[in-house]
Amino acid sequence: MTARAAALWRALARGWWLVAVILTVLYPLGAFLFHGRIFQHVDKEAVGNSLGIAAAATAAALPVGFLLAWLSECRRWRGRGLTELACWLVFLLPSYLLTLGWQTLIERPQWMHTAVADAFFGIGGIVSLLALKGVPFACFAGRATLRAMGAEWDEVAAVFDVGRVRAAAIAARALLPAAAASAVVVFAESIQEFGIPATLGARIHLHVMPYDIYTRLATTPADFSGAAGLSVQLAAIAVAAATVHIALHLRFGATLIGARHRARHPVCPRRGVAAAGWLSAAATLVLGFVIPIASLMHQAFGSEPQVPVPWSSVASSLVYALLGAGLTLAIVMAMLRGGGASRSIPWVTIAMEGFSLAGMAVPGVVLGAAYVFAFNRGPVVLYGTPLLLVIAYSSAVMPMLVRLLRAPLEQIHVALDEAAVVHVADPGRRLLDIALPLRAGPLLWAGFMAFATMVFELPISELLAPPGRTPLAVSIVNLMQGMNDTAAARLGLAGVAVVGLLGAGLVGLASRRLTGVLQPGVGA
């Protein structure tokens, strides 16, 4: 092999992930979004509905989610475990199953034709469900910001005895940006939500941007230009939200410069505040998970389905998700390795941060539409193949995985790998006994999150489902739209059970075999 060829192979081995990101993310999005007539086709009704519903859902979710975040991070509060449980369960439950659970409950004779049913099958129902899904986002975003604050604000106010009013002003100054960051995240997630508009929204014929993009592509002939224009508008709103989020993060992050981060002094909350916290956590758990799941179970086992349950879609989705999660982990690990080596270059860090927030700016429906547009023509037509679906899943989940893995992997001290390079001669041993076990905890967690997201993924599945191998989410929504709620409930519960069992297995494995690995920083 010539020196030039060897150098090319080395460059390819190091930079293949960049080629993968360009081909699977930048190319389809660029081709699709630049095709759109950006502001010629402003669907005022869809834009207005989307903005209004997202704002209302944010207003409803923020007080609950941020209260839970504040109690969990800033106070000694026993409800932290319940909050954790509630938020993760609601976060992981797909929105269309949440909708189906409530829908089957409200459709019972004792509820139908009541004010509750009227409210549910309208804007109120959509806002309520979006707000329930928004609580975990508000809580997670708030906790991340509050955790970074440390205890200094409270301590300074206490030491200098600044008085109640000034102490409150200092606390507000500290808390407001954190609350604003939570609000921005909830707003962005709500405006991009596809599952609720595709089920409950479709039933009441509500025009919102994500579902309108889908319908423009699902009708014949497909309106690529209109869908692209609407996608650009949706992405622009999301980018604006992401920009506000970054600005708040940068502005607020500056408060930590020069400060030594210390754990907060455990202060118990006032009784009324604690009670409000307990109520909020319990309500989130019951309304966002327990009732919908109980209702689904009642529906699934209370009657016989009118149509055969397409069980094969569970297996299809498991295979797609397994392949997609593996592919995503490989790309993200290579990306973080390449990015980590160039960490001293500021634009690399900015690019990584920007990419990790891309999931917030580019909704799944836009990515799916871009794939339909980009891979439906040209020399290699991949549209309608399982391969394209897996690649699209991977592209959609990549930013989330970068966000999940970046910090934990960067915390693994470089000297631990260097010690292996210096002392362990066998490359296989270095990989299997040192490098992988050191990273096993974060990798398992991120892999599971990617897998669970892909099993239940809806908008991309709707647009790219390969004929004959329908993914789980598409089958469920098809059954719902055909009023076959029992079959949909059975299928949904089967998916939840499989993913839950896998998750429980991984947690058990991690806690028994990898306890040391899950304590970063030891020995380095």
Residue 419 lies near other proteins (rule: CB under 8 A): yes
Residue range at the interface with other proteins (CB under 8 A); choices 151-159, 217-225, 425-433, 459-467: 425-433
Which is nearer to other proteins, 18 or 434 (by Cβ)?
434
d(CA 84, CA 330): 29
Contact between 418 and other proteins per CB under 8 A: yes
3 in contact with other proteins (CB under 8 A): no
Q: How far is the CB of 4 from other proteins (least distance, A)?
A: 16
What DSSP line would sit under 429-463, residue for residue?
HIIIIIIHHHHHHHHHHHHHHHHHHHHH--HHHHH
Q: Which stretch binds other proteins (CB under 8 A): 187-195, 266-274, 370-378, 422-430?
A: 422-430
Question: Is residue 432 a contact residue for other proteins (CB under 8 A)?
Answer: no
Q: Give the DSSP per-residue string, 211-266.
A: HHHHHHHHSSS--HHHHHHHHHHHHHHHHHHHHHHHHHHHHHHGGGTTPPP-PPP-
User: What is the nearest approach in angstroms of other proteins to the Cβ of residue 354?
Assistant: 23
CB of 434 to other proteins, least distance (A): 6
Is the CB of residue 85 less than 8 Å from the CB of residue 500? Answer: no
Minimum Å gap between C-beta 263 and other proteins is 18
Burial class for 379, CB neighbours closer than 10 Å (0-12, 13-18, 19+)? exposed
- Tell whether residue 506 is a contact of other proteins (CB under 8 A): no
* Cα 55 from chain centre: 19
Residue from the set 379, 428, 467, 523 that interacts with other proteins by CB under 8 A? 523
Q: Is 338 in the site for other proteins (CB under 8 A)?
A: no
Is position 510 an interface residue for other proteins (rule: CB under 8 A)? no
CB-based burial label for 7 (10 Å; 0-12, 13-18, 19+): exposed
The residue among 481 and 515 lying less far from other proteins, judged by its C-beta, is 515
Question: What gap in Å lies between CA 87 and CA 264, rounded to an integer?
Answer: 22
Binding mask 292-331 for other proteins (x = CB under 8 A): ----------------------------------------
Instruction: Return the number of the residue (28 or 442) whose C-beta is nearest other proteins.
Output: 442
For residue 515, the minimal CB distance to other proteins (Å) is 9
Among 413, 469, 494, 498, binds other proteins (CB under 8 A): 413
228 within 8 A of 365, measured Cβ to Cβ: no
> Which residue number, 297 or 434, has a Cβ lying nearer to other proteins?
434
How many residues are given for the chain?
524
Stretch 55-74 residues interacting with other proteins (CB under 8 A): none
Stretch that binds other proteins, among 2-10, 97-105, 427-435, 493-501 (CB under 8 A): 427-435
Examine residue 516 and tell whether it contacts other proteins (CB under 8 A).
yes
Determine, following the binding rule CB under 8 A, whether residue 519 of this chain makes contact with other proteins: yes
Distance CA 245, CA 188 (A): 10
Q: How far is CA 333 from CA 121, 158, 328, 414, in A?
A: 44, 45, 8, 15
Subset of 104-133 contacting other proteins (CB under 8 A): none
In the structure encoding, which two tokens stand for residue 182, read together? 């939570």
161 binds other proteins (CB under 8 A): no
219 vs 344, which CB is nearer to other proteins? 344
- Residue 443 C-beta: closest distance to other proteins, Å: 13
Name the H helices within 75-94: 80-92
484: three-class secondary structure by DSSP? coil
Q: In this structure, what DSSP letter does residue 197 have?
A: I
Q: By CB under 8 A, which span of 101-109, 326-334, 379-387, 415-423 interacts with other proteins?
A: 415-423
Given 33, 56, 458, 517, the residue binding other proteins (CB under 8 A):
517
The reply to whether 512 sits near other proteins by the rule CB under 8 A is no
434-473 positions binding other proteins, by CB under 8 A: 434, 437-438, 440
Note the Cα 134 to chain centre separation in Å: 11
Taking the complex as a whole, the smallest distance from the CB of residue 521 to other proteins amounts, in Å, to 8
Cβ distance to other proteins smaller for residue 114 or 519: 519
Tokens of 361: 């700016």
User: Does 498 participate in binding other proteins (rule CB under 8 A)?
Assistant: no
Q: CA distances (Å), 413 to each of 419, 502, 523, in order?
A: 10, 30, 9
Q: Which of residues 340-369 bind other proteins (CB under 8 A)?
A: 344
Q: Which CB sits closer to other proteins, 271 or 423? A: 423
C-alpha dist (Å) from residue 303 to 294, 309, 490: 14, 13, 11
Question: How many positions of this chain bind other proteins (CB under 8 A)?
Answer: 27
Cα–Cα nearest to 373, from 35, 119, 114 = 35
Helix ranges, 304-362 (H): 312-341, 346-356, 358-361
Stretch that binds other proteins, among 326-334, 413-421, 470-478, 481-489 (CB under 8 A): 413-421
- What's the number of CA atoms in the CB half-sphere (13 Å) around residue 185? 27
CB of 394 closer than 8 Å to CB of 324:
yes
Q: Where on the chain is the footprint of other proteins (CB under 8 A)?
A: 344, 413, 415-416, 418-426, 429, 433-434, 437-438, 440, 514, 516-517, 519-520, 522-524
